[in-house]
């Protein structure tokens, strides 16, 4: 796949969540968490420093801005995430469609389509390979008439830190593609992968 084709398969402009997903440090760009931490720092420091000098309170105010500033700096540093995703997709021998769903955290399954004439791997052959990625990755369905396998990534959603969950799901997809699907494509040609 060439760079132009890979670039067409992902959003032209990434949201803050999509920028955060490929990086393990993406959670630092979570403005909501940074705001809560800043608020807690401010309230606690003003409570404990209520009788202190003005300079101590000013220091508390300055410290309360640090989490927000760190979040904005992290978001700015992650602005090139799209380029990293496209560069990874270019290295693959098959296209991945709907990658935006993984990056936005709205999907946890993929469909692997095999080329015409390719023999689909049996469940018994592919299950150990999926287990090598994680015990939570499993084969949902084999559709031989459509020449597709449906695979569940098995990353549970987190209510408190969705950016952590998104990153784990993205990493699991990358591991699955690189360690299972790319070698499998040498035996049974894969025409494409679609995030469903």
CA atoms within 13 Å, Cβ hemisphere of 146? 10
Burial class (CB in 10 A: 0-12, 13-18, 19+), 85: buried
The DSSP element (H or E) to which 109 belongs, if any, is strand 109-114
Q: What is the pLDDT of residue 22?
A: 97
Q: Is 158 helix (H, G, I), strand (E, B) or coil?
A: coil
Handedness of CA 154, 97, 150, 190 (dihedral sign): negative
Cβ 187 vs Cβ 171: under 8 Å? no
Predicted TM-score (pTM) of the model is 0.88
Q: What is the pLDDT of residue 61?
A: 87
pLDDT (tens, 9 = 90+) of the chain, 196 residues, equals 899 999 999 999 999 999 999 999 999 998 888 999 999 999 998 888 887 777 888 888 889 999 999 999 999 999 999 999 999 999 999 999 999 999 999 999 999 999 999 999 999 999 999 999 999 999 999 999 999 999 999 999 988 889 999 999 999 999 999 999 999 999 999 999 999 9
């Amino acid at each position: 796949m060439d760079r132009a084709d890979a670039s067409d398969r992902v959003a032209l402009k990434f949201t803050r969540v999509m920028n955060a997903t490929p990086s393990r440090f993406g959670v630092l760009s979570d403005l909501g968490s940074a705001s809560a931490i800043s608020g807690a720092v401010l309230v606690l420091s003003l409570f404990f420093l209520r009788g202190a000098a003005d300079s101590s309170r000013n220091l508390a105010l300055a410290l309360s801005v640090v989490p927000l500033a760190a979040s904005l700096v992290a978001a700015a540093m992650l602005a090139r995430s799209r380029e990293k995703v496209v560069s990874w997709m270019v290295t693959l021998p098959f296209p991945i469609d709907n990658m935006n769903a993984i990056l936005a955290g709205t999907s946890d399954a993929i469909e692997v389509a095999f080329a015409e004439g390719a023999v689909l791997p049996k469940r018994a052959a592919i299950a150990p390979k999926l287990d090598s990625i994680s015990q939570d990755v499993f084969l949902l369905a084999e559709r031989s008439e459509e020449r597709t396998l449906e695979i569940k990534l098995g990353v549970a959603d987190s209510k408190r830190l969705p950016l952590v969950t998104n990153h784990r799901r993205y990493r699991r997809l990358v591991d699955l593609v690189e360690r299972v699907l790319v070698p499998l494509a040498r035996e049974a040609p894969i025409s494409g992968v679609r995030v469903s």
